[in-house]
Amino acid sequence: MKTVYLDYSATTPLDPRSFDAMRPFFLEKFGNASSIHRVGQEARAALDNSRDKIAQLLAVDAGEIYFVSGGTEANNFALKCIAWRMREDGKTHIITSKSEHHAILDTCEYLEHTGFQVSYIDVDDYGMVEPEEIGKRVRSTTGLITTMHSNNEIGTINPISEIAAIAHEHNVIFHSDAVQSFGKIPLRVPDLQVDSLSLSAHKIYGPKGIGVLYVRKGIEIERLMHGGGQERGRRAGTENIPLIVGFATSAELIISEMESEQGRISELRNKMKSMLQQKNSFIIFNGHPTHVLPNILNISFDSRKIDIDGEALLFNLDLAGIAVASGSACTSGSMTPSHVLSAMGRDLKTAKASIRFSLGRATTEEDLDYTVNTLEGIINRIGKVIV
């Protein structure tokens, strides 16, 4: 059976070049970067070199980069540790959007239980956060604003620099989750003007279990984990050198190949969209038509025109060897309607009957032809047209 993987926004395969770079640090160069002997200092050199590489790609100082276990920890680190510190200054209000990843939303919910107030901003019909809506919610007690750079389900890119300007105008710290953006579109911190930023390696053909939190120099945050003095005392625990080396290698590779690869993927995405438009009149395309990641195409089946079970849709695609998602990989197992699509105003049935196609390095035109044709057959078999 043919296998087509179109779920690159959930995770990506490890780049063999990154695996080769990691391998020595699993087997021969296994030292603890905190040890003062030669074996330990070999690991320390790899740690420092990797930090320098990622800092250069983001156009920031190496001292502003913290290695963590992934995007979820990076978001928890940023929100909790900034919030705990800002409370000392009487700041207890946080602003975010209703379309954020659950790593942000669930952390905000936790902070609400500990005495913080959180304002959840609506998004527009494209799932975009409007800066002026952020500005309307700022209070004297607002200490933190967090908005994702691009949405992981629909690919919409938010006007981050505009939101950052509003935050800084009110002396508010601004955090952004850029897990889906990094490596797919140009991303430099000086352009975005963010105070903190989250990244994850396994979205860019790096290893799972490693991420980065950027924190601008001068931003005071509490430490996340207590113990040793690793990561400048803010995150205790022995650094995972093999994964850190893999992250830095994957980051360098994806940035160096970004222009040509994302141009190719964007063309494939546009072709797929055109094919779907020609073959099916029941489809709604979710996300902004132009301010969108080049690799994500999210569709819903309009419940006013066709009755189709979303779970059966994904099940039949899987049986045909096609791997896609209905939303975030962190919640897709529950088959609950996407909170992002609900925030955009999609009704329950339409939101449930949705598919996120996310393309990557191995995606071919043949993959898309097979997927579109297979999807058409499944719709004809399990869908009920509403006359």
Which burial class, exposed, middle or buried, applies to 387 when counting CB atoms under 10 A from its CB (0-12, 13-18, 19+)?
exposed
Q: Do residues 255 and 182 lie in contact, with contact meaning Cβ atoms separated by under 8 Å?
A: no
DSSP letter for 138, please: -
Instruction: Select from 296, 302, 269 the least CA-distant residue to 310.
Output: 302
Q: Do residues 280 and 376 lie in contact, with contact meaning Cβ atoms separated by under 8 Å?
A: yes
CB atoms within 10 A of CB 369: 14
Beta strands in 114-172 (DSSP E): 117-121, 142-146
Which burial class, exposed, middle or buried, applies to 50 when counting CB atoms under 10 A from its CB (0-12, 13-18, 19+)?
buried
**What is the distance between the alpha carbons of residues 17 and 270, in angstroms, rounded to a whole number?**
29
As annotated, the active-site residues are: 330
Dmax (CA) for the chain in angstroms is 76
Which residues lie closer than 8 Å to 78 by C-beta, 6 or more apart?
A: 146, 175, 196, 198, 213, 215, 221
Pairing of strands 93-97, 117-121: parallel
Q: How far apart are the first and last CA of the chain?
A: 36
Instruction: Select from 354, 293, 308, 246 the least CA-distant residue to 21.
Output: 246
Q: What are phi and psi of 69, to 5 degrees?
A: -85, -5
